Amino acid sequence: MFAINPFAELSAFIPPAVMQAYVVIMAVLVAVGTLFDIVHKGSAKYFFAHWRKTKSKAQQVGSGELVSIAIKTGVVDVLASGEFCNARRRVAHLLTMYGFVLHVVSTVVMVFGLSMDSLWPHLWWIGGLMILVGGYWFWFFIRADVAAEGNSPWRVMHADLFILSLLASVTLGLIWAFLQAGTRPGAGLFFGLYILATTVLFASVPWSKFAHMFFKPAAAFEKRVSYANGTRSNLPAPADKPEQFGSARTPPQHY
């Protein structure tokens, strides 16, 4: 089961060109949705305006130091999710992030290659399971409104659209692949639900936190540069230090 390309099996019923066109459409939806989000919220305009303003008032940072800052941003803030001080939150985020990358890349390779090589199906399953572990761990045990505020884990808000659609897509996709591999009944139903959840995930970029992943590296880089050029030197200490949250009985769990 774990070595079988589920999309190659599906090609007996759905033409490969249709599956490939669907993947391309989802990629276009992400690109268009991200651009719409940038224009609608004015995030890029604000970012560059703030960058020019601070650059004109700050001491110059050399190109060598900028390269060093860029490397630190990529390694610490992006690859290691250094913005999370809480170890559980960071591990859950890394599981979900790297699982998402594995799952998406292996999906694209399997859909366009329709290869029966066992490597990519294994990576597809591993990535999906990483998403489920990290995502459900976050949803039920780490979310701020659950861990710190005591709300029900079933409470759903608009900001939860991305994580819920991601978990729904991956959960339904793995169930579909499991049922299809064993020729069990219900595979067609779960495939339809899998496509529906996946479409919601990629089509809802302007209304979810999907585009957030593209902004975070730029914001982290700008923050490090502002420390290097001195524009943050006169600001007060951050008010959201993790040690100030929680209580004497309950340590902070959501940062």
pLDDT in tens, 177-186: 999 987 888 9
Nearest to 111 by CA among 7, 1, 13, 4: 7
Separation CA 29–CA 211 (nearest Å): 11
The pLDDT value given to residue 25: 97
Is residue 236 situated within a structural domain? no
Q: Backbone dihedral region of 65: left (phi > 0), alpha (psi from -120 to 50 degrees) or beta?
A: alpha
Asked whether the predicted pLDDT for residue 57 surpasses 70, the reply is no
pLDDT band at 250, cuts 50/70/90?
low
Is residue 128 situated within a structural domain? yes
Q: Where do we find the tokens 């809480």?
A: 86
User: Domain count of the chain?
Assistant: 1
Is residue 240 situated within a structural domain? no
Cα Rg of the chain (Å, integer):
21
Asked whether the predicted pLDDT for residue 248 surpasses 70, the reply is no
Report pTM. 0.80
Q: At residue 247, what is the residue type?
A: S
Asked whether the predicted pLDDT for residue 59 surpasses 70, the reply is no
Separation CA 240–CA 245 (nearest Å): 8
HSE (CB half, 13 Å, CA atoms) of 40? 10
Separation CA 155–CA 103 (nearest Å): 27
pLDDT band at 48, cuts 50/70/90?
low
Is residue 186 situated within a structural domain? yes
Digit-coded pLDDT (tens) for 143-201: 876 656 667 777 788 778 999 999 999 999 999 999 998 788 899 999 999 999 999 99
- Longest Cα separation, the chain: 67
Q: Which domain holds residue 185?
A: 6-51+85-230
Is residue 216 situated within a structural domain? yes
Is residue 225 situated within a structural domain? yes
Is residue 214 situated within a structural domain? yes
Separation CA 215–CA 207 (nearest Å): 15
Is residue 67 situated within a structural domain? no
Question: Domain with 171 in it: what CATH number?
Answer: 1.20.950
- What's the start-to-end Cα distance of the chain, in Å? 38
Q: At residue 43, what is the residue type?
A: S
